Amino acid sequence: MFCLTFVLFVFSFALATVSKQTPFDLDTSLPYFTSLNTNYEQNLFELWESYVNGYDHPLVLQLKKHDKFYHFDYMSEENIFINNTVETLSDDLFDEIRHEIPSIKTRADLIKFKQNAIYILVRNYELDSLCKSILNFLSRVPHPYFDFIIMNDKPFDPFFINQITKFIINSNNPTTKKWAERLITVKFGLIKAEIWDPLEYKEDYTTIPMSVIESRWEQQEEQGILYGGSRSYRNMCRFQSMNFYNHPSLDGYKYTMRMEPGVEYLCNFDPFGELRDGVKYAFTLSLVEYPETIPSLFTTYLTYKRDEYYRNRELFEFINDGIGGYNLCHFWTNFEVISLDWVRSEQYNRFMEHFDKTAGFYMERWGDAPLRTLAVVELLSIDEVQWLDIGYLHPPFVSCPGDLKTRTERQCTCESYDFENDILGISLVYMNEEGFENDYDDEEEEENNDNFDFDRITINMHDYSCLKKWWRYGEGKSFL
C-alpha cells in the first residue's frame, strides 16, 4: 500500500494565484488528474498530445515557463550538495562521509563516487515493478547513495515522481535514510520526440517510405518475431544504442549502471566499486540473439570502414562462428555498467551511425544488445571489459554464482539452477585456482584445456548462454 504523503522539493517561484508551486503541481479541476488511482496511459496520452500539438495544458505551461520540461531534479532539503561542492564541504562533514562509506578516503574519491549513477528507462505504468527493483537494489548494495537518472519518452506522472523519490530516499533504516537524503539526487528526464522517434520527427532520417517500413512490421508480426510489430520497442533499442548518454540529465557523470523494472539482484554487490581500473564495459549475462531479428546486422558490421583508431580486435573470436559469420552471442544490456566517456566518444558514435543510416532498427528489429556487443568487440580490448558475477534475475533468465563460498559471502538468495520453478539459469563456477570439474559434453573444449586439472566443480551451462565463449576468449581464458 503506497503512502500518499510526499513533499516535493519546492522551487521558489511565484504564480498569480499560488505563492509556491512545483513544476509538477497539477490543475486538479481536470477530471483525469483528480485521483491518484489514475490510468497512467490515459493521463500521458492526453498530456503528451497537448505537448506535441501545442495545447495550453497547465502542466505543460508550467514546465515550459520554468525550463523544467526537459528534466526535473529532486533533492531532499537535507542534501549537502544544494549549497556545496565536494571541494567546499567542511572537514567535519567530509569526515562523516568517510566514516559512512569506507571506500572514500579522499575528496577525489568522493568526486569519483558522485560521478556514478543508476540509469533507468521506464514508463509510468511500470511504477510497481520498478519500486520493487529499487528496494531490492538498495538492500543489496552496501552504500547505495548513487544518483538515479530516470528517463521516459512521455512526461512522468507526478504520482510516479512522488513514489519513486520516496522509495529511493526514505529508507526504513534511519542511517541509510539520513545519508540518502544527504547524498542522492533523483533526476527525471523527458526524451525529446525527435530523438525518440526519428521516423516521425526527422524528415531526413531515411528515404524509405513509411508504408514500406510499416509493411515490414506487419510481416514480422505475422512471422511471430518478438516485438516484430512494435514501433516503440524499436525506438527504445535505437535510443539505448546511440542516444541515452547524450541526455542532459547525465551531464557530469562518468559511469552508469542500467536498471530495469522487474529485475532482482540475488547477491550483495557494488556495481562500481567492483570494477577494475580501466574497465569501460561490464556485464553479467551473455546470451544468444534471435537470428530473425538481425538478418543483415553482421553484414552491415563487416562493411564498416575502420581508421586510425582501429584496434586489433582481441574480442572478435567471442562473436565468431568459425565460418565467417556471427554466432549471435551478445552481452545482455538490461544490466550493464558502462563508461559514458566511451559511448560519448567520436569512435563509438561513428560506429553507431554506420548502422543507423541503414534504418536497420526499423526495417528489421535490431536490439541494442547485439549493437552494443559489436561496439565492444570493435572498439575495446579484453582488459577493458569485465564480467560481474553478481547473481541477477531478469525473467526468464537468471545467473547465480556457482561457488558456494561466493554465494555465502555475498549472501545470495539463489541456487545455480532453479529446477523447482523451471527458470532458465546459468551456473557459474570456480572453486579454487587449481581447477574445476567439467561435466559438459564438449570434446573440443576438453582438448583445448588439457593442461588444467578438472576437479570437483560442475559447470552446468545451457545452449542459450555464451559465457563459455567469454571465459575462453575474454577475460576468463586464463582459467579455462
Label residue 453 exposed, middle or buried (CB < 10 Å: 0-12, 13-18, 19+): exposed
Nearest in space to 474 (alpha carbons), one of 338, 345, 381, 404: 381
CB atoms within 10 A of CB 26: 17
Given a contact cutoff of 8 angstroms between Cβ atoms, the answer to whether 293 and 328 are in contact is no
336 is catalytic: yes
Half-sphere exposure of 372 (CA within 13 A, CB side): 30
Q: Which amino acid is at 478?
A: S
- Which residue among the candidates 126, 181, 289, 336 is catalytic per the annotation? 336
How far is residue 310's CA from residue 186's CA, in Å, rounded to a whole number? 38
How far is residue 410's CA from residue 268's CA, in Å, rounded to a whole number? 5
How far is residue 132's CA from residue 134's CA, in Å, rounded to a whole number? 5
Given a contact cutoff of 8 angstroms between Cβ atoms, the answer to whether 400 and 416 are in contact is yes
Cα 48 from chain centre = 24
> Which residue do the cell numbers 581508421 mark?
307
CB atoms within 10 A of CB 115: 16
Active site residue ranges: 336
